[in-house]
Structure 1
Amino acid sequence: MKITNVLVYMLLLGCLISIGAQANDKSLSGTIVVVNKNDNTVNFIDLKSRQIKFTRETGKGPHELAMSAGGRLAVVTNYIGGNSLTVFDVQRARKLRTIDLSLYPRPHGVLFLKDQRKVVVSSEGSDSVVVVDITTGKIEKVLNTKQKGSHMVALPDSSSRVYTTNMGSDTVSELDVQSGALLQKISTPAIPEAITINKDGSELWVGSNEDGLVTVFDLKDGGIIKQWSGFSFPYRVLLTRDEQFAVIPDFKNNTLDVIDVSNKKKLHQVDFGWSTTPNGVAFYSDDRTVFMSANGKDKVIVVDIRSGETLFELPTGDGPDGIGYSSLVMQ
């Protein structure tokens, strides 16, 4: 091939790659909802325009957010001083109700149960998990973890069991959602916080802050499948819906690790630089684009997990943390 032809080919290839990248990051649509801890607010961000469209008040000290499966509802836990849940209609960016949890203070982790009507919420102040019907505001059940500092929650696809990291006891509690029974206490490395579980409930992923470890437990035989060191503060861990990848934002290292789930190998470590302080993560509908709240920058950073490339950033309020994605476009 002549040199001129090679140059033309390389130029065309570069243009195609550039066009593909632009199409990828320009074509995202839907709504990002992100909690601002220092503002006591949530932002509703339109992905097409990449702008905050609405800002709404929460209770005091909001931290975490759960998005319903269809993206219609978002539930915020008001952790420090709020002792409540705030329920939002995402498409209308409208507050629907506030649910009092004063008997179960410091609500933190929250996830929707399979019926999409109820949520499970960890109460750090009462060492329990409460089951709340968000349409009626009724507390339907209280599950005692019998451990200290119950902070985050994880659910398998069946949502028959709920798992909580207990930061004060260095354990995970496995609880039966229907009966409320404590099924087992799983010992973990010190100060477990981040947690997730795969769909069939066989692999439990736990991030421990004391020694910067992330451990994958085999719930079938009680053993350890894999453990990684080298983290400083593995703040969260989240699996893609097809369970091919996991992402782990590190609050103190200012990094995002991307892991191949099947062979348990790290694919990328994205370094965002000093004072980014990565927090919450949520996936776009393509399962390969992740939205990460950057607490230190007051932004959401959008990353292609296959390449580790930052696609663009979105504005937020002060101190973004919990985050969720909805395919619905605001009206």
Structure 2
Amino acid sequence: MFSSSLKTASLRAWLFSFATCITFTATSVLAEDTKLSGTLVVVNKKADTVSFIDLQSKKIKYTLTTDKGPHELAMRADGQVAVVTNYVGGNSLTVFDVQQAKKIKSIDLSRYPRPHGVLFLKDQKKVAVSSENSNSVVIADIESGKIVKALNTQQKGSHMVALPESSARVYTTNMGSNTVSELDVESGVLLRKIATPNVPEAITINKDGSELWVGSNEGGLLTVYDLKTQSEVKQWQGFSFPYRILLTRDEQFAVVPDYKNDTLDVIDVKNKQKVHRIDFAEGTGPKGVTLHPNDRTLFLSAYGKNKVMAIDILTGKIVFELPTGDGPDGIGYSSHILP
């Protein structure tokens, strides 16, 4: 009897110790996550501004104006320069010095209206910008402010861009033609048109350029293509508006915010299996996504709530939330600390 009681007491003590250990570990991780440093630059579509948010204080430190109708944002690899596309009425790029939190210049794209998707090329001096109304990809030199060239997608409604690590080719989702254009950046030649389910918008490609991911709005589909074999690898249903697709830097995970479903899917890239789906409150409107350098903390703009969420993609938990301006969308991370 005594022996049994002793064993029970010992078991309880062990369980308490184990639980305490788990709680301590979880608290330690959470504490570490909440001490992330650096700067988020977030596009506020409804306000024609960008918010510069300090991650340590979790407050908006500066609000700067863009041209009219800003949508997307590209951050240079060193985190010092951010480029915003002014899609609705602006027809321009606004370039910001992140470290000094100031506007550098505006680049006129009136010949290439409705500029939307934007990414830095490998040289980190030029950006590739999709122009929806001219059905082209514009290569713009950020330092000189000049247009280097325009690549004709030969399709309608070229909306978003994707670049492999080499930047030798650029890919656009063509919402009006239900295709993806593959273009040679140097020559400007259209290499191929890839048929997709209706109204493709979201797009990304892996580093070596072998695997293309596309989100289609009309059928709520997410499709992965093998570009070497020109075949479909995997397709998921059950989306409503798969707004963006982002791969982690180590390419282990893909994250897909669904603007209309108010969800975020995390997918195992290698096994092509969903890890989990995170459900948000109705009206959250998840849109823009960017990663912290730890490659597991995701910053997600909540368009309907005027905030940014920091999410642990492994656990699916929201670590903290940050204020933004009106209608946050495009977002980028910089390691620079604001003055």
TM-score range, shorter-chain basis? over 0.9
Match for residue 58 of structure 1? 66
Are 1:167 and 2:212 counterparts? no
- Report the alpha carbon displacement of residue 27 of structure 1 after superposing the two structures with TM: 2.0
Could you tell me whether the CA contact under 8 Å between 2:310 and 2:320 is conserved in 1? yes
Letter in 1 for 2:137: V
Question: Aligned residue pairs: how many?
Answer: 331
Could you tell me whether the CA contact under 8 Å between 2:81 and 2:95 is conserved in 1? yes
Match for residue 85 of structure 1? 93
Match for residue 143 of structure 1? 151
More moved, 99-108 vs 16-25? 16-25
Could you tell me whether the CA contact under 8 Å between 2:296 and 2:313 is conserved in 1? yes
Letter in 2 for 1:311: V
2:202 to 184, 194, 198: 194
- Report the alpha carbon displacement of residue 196 of structure 1 after superposing the two structures with TM: 0.1
Could you tell me whether the CA contact under 8 Å between 2:41 and 2:332 is conserved in 1? yes
1:263 aligned counterpart, secondary structure = coil
Match for residue 306 of structure 1? 314
Structure 1 unmatched runs, 5+ = none
- Report the alpha carbon displacement of residue 96 of structure 1 after superposing the two structures with TM: 0.4
Structure 2 unmatched runs, 5+ = 1-6
Could you tell me whether the CA contact under 8 Å between 2:34 and 2:320 is conserved in 1? no
More moved, 21-30 vs 225-234? 21-30
More moved, 3-12 vs 321-330? 3-12
1:1-331 matches, within 5 Å, as 2-331=10-339
Letter in 1 for 2:130: S
Aligned-residue CA RMSD (Å): 1.0
1:105 aligned counterpart, secondary structure = coil
Match for residue 3 of structure 2? none
- In 2, distance between residues paired with 1:15 and 1:186? 50
Of all paired residues, the percent bearing the same amino acid is: 66
2:181 aligned counterpart, secondary structure = strand
2:332 aligned counterpart, secondary structure = strand
So what's the TM-score if we normalise by structure 1?
0.98
The structure number with the bigger radius of gyration is 2
- In 1, distance between residues paired with 2:233 and 2:32? 35
- Report the alpha carbon displacement of residue 329 of structure 1 after superposing the two structures with TM: 1.0
Question: Structure 1, residues 157-213: CA drift from partner, whole Å, max 9, x if none?
Answer: 000000000000000000000000000000000000000000000000000000000
- Report the alpha carbon displacement of residue 10 of structure 1 after superposing the two structures with TM: 4.0
- Report the alpha carbon displacement of residue 7 of structure 1 after superposing the two structures with TM: 5.0
Letter in 2 for 1:218: D
1:211 aligned counterpart, secondary structure = coil
Letter in 2 for 1:185: K
So what's the TM-score if we normalise by structure 2?
0.96
